[in-house]
Amino acid sequence: MKIGIIGATGMAGKRLVAEGIKRGHEITAIVRNEIKAKEVLGAEARLLVKDVFLLEKSDLDQFDVVVNAFATDPGHAYQHVDVVAKLVAMFREVEQPRLFFILGAGSLLDENNALFLKTLESIPEASAWISIPKEAYKAFLFLQNTENVNWVGVSPSADFIDGDAGSYQLGTDHLLVSKSGKSVITSGTMAVAIFDEIESPQFIKRRFTACES
């Protein structure tokens, strides 16, 4: 498949590029900084060098799937919603590309059916970064209420860390925990879970979550 990855030099994005190439897909890294992209992804990486907010429909309709791994700093967290809205507006009433969004864990429910975002807000130092999970939650709500768009979302576990791929388990709306009792997933495992869903779709116009086994 032809797959475009927005934010391809980030923690999640670079693992997605590597996993997609490993599986034999035609991967295009959609990036703002060509020099950084070549340093992170290699000189042979296929690039589309353009700011996400300058992308046009003609840039993306060549792909079977577009994965949004966009990330930003807390001061610009609102852009998470803006990117989702932009992509949705481009591709209403079409089946291709399928839009794949990496969302936050804040929209998941804990063991008491309470929004995990509330737990995050209670952390003493949360004011420095809480805007990101808040805006990711808004992006999820936006998608939940979106019709006639071919989308899927994935929320990571409570801890989303860089690391190699392992085995994983899937869920839908609740935080999962591993056999060790931790709610954690690595960027490598997330890439595997995303490409498994791309190749064998199970979640159509809905969100799922993944956790280390």
* Confidence bin at 205 (pLDDT 50/70/90): very high
Instruction: Assign residue 115 the CATH number of its domain.
Output: 3.40.50.720
The arithmetic mean of pLDDT across residues 186-192, rounded, is: 98
H helices present in 26-164, as ranges: 34-41, 57-60, 79-90, 116-121, 131-144
196 with 156: CB under 8 angstroms?
no
Token pair for 143: 């998608």
Q: CA angle, corner 207, sides to 203 and 211, nearest 5?
A: 95
Residue 127 lies in domain: 2-212
* Residue 26 to residue 3: CA distance in whole angstroms: 6
> Per-residue pLDDT tens for 104-158?
999 999 999 999 999 999 999 999 999 999 999 999 999 999 999 999 999 999 9
* Residue 194 to residue 116: CA distance in whole angstroms: 22
> Per-residue pLDDT tens for 31-78?
999 999 999 999 999 999 999 999 999 999 999 999 999 999 999 999
In eight-state DSSP terms, residue 209 is E
> Per-residue pLDDT tens for 6-32?
999 999 999 999 999 999 999 999 999
Number of domains the chain contains: 1
* Residue 156 to residue 107: CA distance in whole angstroms: 10
Token pair for 95: 């089946």
The type of residue at 36 is K
